[in-house]
Structure formats: C-alpha cells, structure tokens
Amino acid sequence: MAENEPGFSTLAVHAGAQPDPTTGARATPIYQTTSFVFEDTDHAASLFGLKAFGNIYTRIMNPTQAVLEERVAALEGGTAALATASGHGAQLLVFHTLMQAGDNLVAANRLYGGSINQFGQAFKNFNWQVRWVDPFDLEQIESQIDDRTRAVFIESLANPGGTFVDVAAIAEVAHRHGLPLIVDNTMASPYLVRPIEHGADIVVHSLTKFIGGHGNSMGGMIVDCGTFDWSESGNYPMLSEPRTEYGGIVLHETFGNFAFAIACRVLGLRDFGPAIAPFNAFLILTGVETLPLRMQRHCDNALEVARWLKAHDKVAWVSYSGLEDDDNHALMLKYSPKGAGAVFTFGLSGGYEAGVAFVEALELLSHLANIGDTRSLVIHPASTTHRQLSPEQLAAAGAGPDVVRLSIGIEHVADIIADLEQALAKV
C-alpha cells in the first residue's frame, strides 16, 4: 500500500484516520468538546497567528472533523478540505472568500432549488449578483462573463433532472477568462465523477446526501483542488493581500495550493460559524466507508426503475442519463461510466394534479425533501422544493408541473417497482 496509490474503496475506509493514540480505538472518536488546551502561551500564539497547525476551538477545527475533511479530499483528489454544517454553509464560505460587494458569479440554471434561491435572493444582501446561464450553451456562458465576474458555478450532475454537464468544456471557458470553476458534486459523489480531473478548481458537497448516505446527519464540504493561481489577477484580495488579523501574512503566498481551504476556514468559518457538529462528522465518516458499495447499488437500481417507468402507459417521459436513448447518455459515458446516479425525473401524463396524487399514494417510497438516502425517496418539485420559482425558472431548472423526482435507494428493486406500480394505478 505504501508503494501504490490506494484504491477508492480503501481510501473510503482509511484515508485520514489512524488508531486513537491514547486509547487505541480503531474507529475515529467523537471529540465532543468546545475547546482544546494549549501547551503554553507560545503554542497558543503560534496557533492564533497561523504559524502552527492545531486545534483551538471546535467552531474552527475539531479532530473528528479533520478526519472527515482529509478523507473527502482524498476521494476527490484535492489538496485540502473544510467541513461545514451544511451544503449551503459551504457555498456561503466559498463565495465570501471569492467575492466583494458588486462582484458577480455565472451560475448554471440547472441547480438544486435551494441553491437557486440562495444565489438569487440571499446573496443580494451582500450585493453579490448572479447571472444565470444554460450549462449546455458555452457561448452564453462566455457572454455573461465580465470584469466583475469572480467564478463559474455548475453541478456535475444536475438536480433535479439528473443530467451530466460537460465539466471540461466549461472549465476551459472559465480558465480562458482567469476564473475558477466551482463544481457541486453532491449528486454524483466522487465515486462516479471526480471534477478535479476535468478542470474544476473548487468542489462543494452537501454531505447530507450520498456521502453521508443514511439521511441522519447534516453536513457540507469544500474541497480545494489546489489548481488555481489566486494571486495572478489581483481579483481575490482575501487570498492575495496581507491579512492584518494574522500579522500581515498573505494566505496564497504562505499556504500555496491549499490556501483556498485555509482562507475559508480562518476568514469565513471563523466569523460566520457554520461549523459541523463532531457527532455529525462521526456519522458521516461512517457513511463514507460504504460509499462505493451504496453508489453502485443506487445506480443499478435506478437504471432498472427508469427502464420500467419508460414502458408504463401513464408515464409521458423519463429523463435518466443511463438510458441508452437519452440525449444525455453520451456525456454520462464520458464522465460517469460506472453509472448515472440515483436521482432522475419523469413526467406523468396527467400533469401537476397527477404528480401530487402519485406521491401521496406511495407507501415504500418516502415523500420528503432530500436525496441520497439508503431509502427510496420521491418529491414533486413544482409543489415543494422549487415552488418559489417562476414558471420560466421551473422550466429552465427541469422542474415543470408534471415532473416527479425520484431518489432510488438500495432496497430490493422489485419492491421499489411494486410500490411505483400500485401508486400509478391510483392516478
């Protein structure tokens, strides 16, 4: 193992973890503490001045959290990572590090509804602007970039439609303009797609979904890919200019290819405080260990369910990249040959009313606002997660009135299909 790069499944179990040096415990302990004792005043001064690595306060860093960060960074192929209380918390810290008042980001219009709301509404309070683009229209992406643009943001596998985007092509556009590409990899997980290999500079996750995988813990993650030059343009002063609160050090100059993760921790997490709880970090770490096993079962089940739905007379259409005749199938083969993920959408012939009736008739599948659980989940986005959007935004996000989103779990697939069948019979 020392001579070769460990495989993905090995990293999922072992990366970042060692037996506890005090007790010998093999599982990573839950360090349920607010703060940590300093060796002496010089040690404390070194920690507060960023001249030494170590623990000060759990809002900023905790040993359980640190193992989770190292493990996800290893799975993504990044240089460093920062865990947060939620995916939304991760995105807030990313853009706080990149943007000043009056700056803008270019974002794909096919995103999780909560991200659309965060970018389009909450970010207005910081005077951060968002410019929505079709991720499949490279010319449109380029046309929306100007001298106040600070990043391009996409999902590798878009929610709710389950469509893959051409990460490498979009990365080329972003880099041509001196911008980092930020990729939300929640839906795919690093088991299916590693965005860094296709040009991403920052990867974000809602750990609440597939990485944790059991629907029991909230968490987010920022992965620093270590690929972007934060000093070249002068557009990222939090990384390229002296920080007075840390004795005038320049973070990019001091920390090099993991400076972005450091900046998010010591400038954003420090002051905004969306820290992950040690117990949640522990539960998510446990989930990570089975990520490759779960994701493959998710994909296999989802493909079988999608094929069954496509043949049903009450189903108007199915959008799943794993289907051979799907328009997105070629991109799926390029970026995710192991499978098309667990989440996809389909439309019922009866439109909005049929969608509502269908989800209410299901028994095995749970009707709730989440994805990435071991259990199969269902939602009607137009009446729930995306209801704040206009009809035009709903259509652009792939969440029209007839759309039903499934997140297929790891149950016996025949039982999943049986529940879908009895619910469709009632529509």
299-356 pLDDT tens trace: 999 999 999 999 999 999 999 999 999 999 999 999 999 999 999 999 998 888 888 8
The CA distance from 173 to 196, in Å, is: 15
For residue 3, pLDDT over 80 is answered with: no
CATH fold, domain 8-287, is Aspartate Aminotransferase; domain 2 (3.40.640)
Strand order in the sheet with 343-348: 315-319, 343-348, 403-407, 377-379, 366-367
**Is residue 1 scored above 70 in pLDDT?**
no
Secondary structure (H, E, C), 265-293: HHHHHHHHCCCCCHHHHHHHHHHHCCHHH
Would the pLDDT of 236 be above 50? Answer: yes
Q: pLDDT tens across 130-180, in order?
A: 999 999 999 999 999 999 999 999 999 998 778 999 999 999 999 999 999
Q: pLDDT grade, residue 193 (50/70/90)? A: very high
Find all residues with CB under 8 Å of 395, minimum gap 6, and list them: none
What pLDDT, on a 0 to 100 scale, did the predictor assign at position 353? 85
Query: CB–CB of 419/362 below 8 Å?
Result: yes
The domains of the chain are located at: 8-287, 291-425
Domain pair 8-287 / 291-425, same fold = no
* Whole-number average pLDDT of the chain: 94
The pTM (predicted TM-score) of the whole model is: 0.94
Burial class of 117 by CB neighbour count within 10 A (0 to 12, 13 to 18, 19+): middle
Report CA torsion sign: 413, 409, 72, 180.
positive
**Closest alpha carbon to 165 in 45, 41, 336:** 336
Q: Fold for domain 291-425?
A: Aspartate Aminotransferase, domain 1 (3.90.1150)
> So what's the pLDDT on residue 160?
75
